[in-house]
């Protein structure tokens, strides 16, 4: 019997490979481990940063000896066949930056649909900040004004609900998300730096935390009051530090 393809997304609130924080090593290793390979093939997509060379170099340093890295640039695109390129990957990691710009560029190049086909074939999708926002229906973003946390309702919509990265590390995120949800924005996952949400077949398995103070909550309106409901790992699931 053929093995069923599992669809996976890991959405990081902040941290991860690009920041090279030692505490996040467990989260990074957990993410790489989802591929089932000792040396996974990782495609870094730096669209949200305008394909910044410094970000690519940082990723290369972070993955040295741990994975085989390839980079998919769209501002100076060299890859002709996106489907063939993505078919060679085990994991896609989308970097942070501007969510609005990322979505616009992806759609112009047809990368959104190519990624969806790779996802359906079992390539693990992941990303941090803007690279996490993109998979959801809605998110908070500072794409229009640095320091803000405006609501964006035009995500790819692969995952239901909303996503808010950097929940307690950037001052505007928490209060502006509370106001958005009070105004009808809808239920939104709020995730700290050093924490990620793991989805399997579009269902939340649970958070993965690599920092002792990192957490993830669901921000929702209940009987006219905005509340934060803590998210716990699924039964028997270790934290990234225990993996």
Convert the pLDDT of each residue in 163-187 to its tens digit: 999 999 999 999 999 999 999 999 9
220 sits in which H/E element: strand 216-222
Sole residue written with tokens 């926002």: 133
Q: Taking Cα atoms as reference points, which of 3, 103, 84 lies closest to residue 43?
A: 84
Quick one: pLDDT at residue 117? Answer: 98
Direct distance between the N- and C-terminal alpha carbons of the chain, in angstroms, rounded to an integer: 30
- The token pair at 136 is 């959801």
Residue 59 near residue 19 (C-beta atoms within 8 A)? no
Q: Under a CB-based contact definition with an 8 Å cutoff, are residues 163 and 136 in contact? A: yes
Rounded Cα–Cα distance for residues 168 and 165 (Å): 9
How many CA within 13 A on the CB side of residue 143?
25
Burial 49-61 (b: 16+ CB within 10 A, else e): bbbeeebbebbee
> Which residues are known to be catalytic?
129, 166
d(CA 143, CA 101): 8
Q: How does pLDDT run across 47-104, given as a tens digit for each residue?
A: 999 999 999 999 999 999 999 999 999 999 999 999 999 999 999 999 999 999 999 9
3-state secondary structure of 203: strand
* Average pLDDT rounded to a whole number, residues 132-155: 96
8-235 CATH, one of 3.30.70.3270, 3.40.50.880, 3.30.2130.10, 3.40.1190.10: 3.40.50.880
Would you put residue 194 in left (φ > 0), alpha (ψ -120 to 50) or beta? left
* Helix intervals (H) in 12-125: 25-33, 53-63, 82-87, 99-109, 111-120
At residue 241, does pLDDT exceed 90? Answer: no
Average pLDDT, the chain: 93
Residue 3 has pLDDT above 80, yes or no: no
């Amino acid at each position: 019997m053929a093995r069923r393809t599992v669809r996976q997304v890991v959405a990081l609130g902040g941290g991860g490979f690009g920041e090279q924080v030692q505490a996040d090593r467990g989260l990074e290793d957990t993410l790489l481990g989802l591929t089932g390979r000792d040396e996974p093939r990782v495609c870094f997509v730096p669209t949200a940063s305008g394909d910044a060379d410094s970000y690519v170099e940082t990723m290369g340093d972070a993955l040295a000896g741990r994975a085989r890295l390839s980079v998919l640039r769209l501002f100076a695109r060299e890859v002709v066949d996106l489907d063939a390129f993505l078919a060679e990957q085990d994991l896609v990691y989308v970097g942070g930056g501007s969510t609005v710009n990322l979505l616009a560029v992806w759609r112009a190049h047809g990368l959104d649909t190519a990624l969806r086909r790779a996802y359906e074939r079992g390539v693990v999708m992941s990303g941090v900040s803007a690279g996490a926002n993109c998979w959801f229906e809605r998110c908070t973003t500072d794409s229009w004004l640095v320091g803000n946390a405006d609501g964006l309702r035009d995500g790819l919509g692969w995952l239901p609900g909303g996503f808010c990265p950097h929940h307690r590390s950037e001052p505007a995120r928490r209060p502006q998300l509370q106001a958005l949800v009070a105004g009808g924005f809808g239920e939104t996952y709020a995730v700290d730096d050093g924490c990620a949400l793991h989805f399997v077949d579009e269902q939340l398995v649970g958070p993965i935390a690599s920092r002792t103070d990192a957490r993830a909550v669901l921000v929702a309106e209940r009987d006219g009051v905005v509340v934060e409901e803590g998210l716990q790992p699924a039964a028997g699931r270790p934290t990234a530090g225990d993996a």
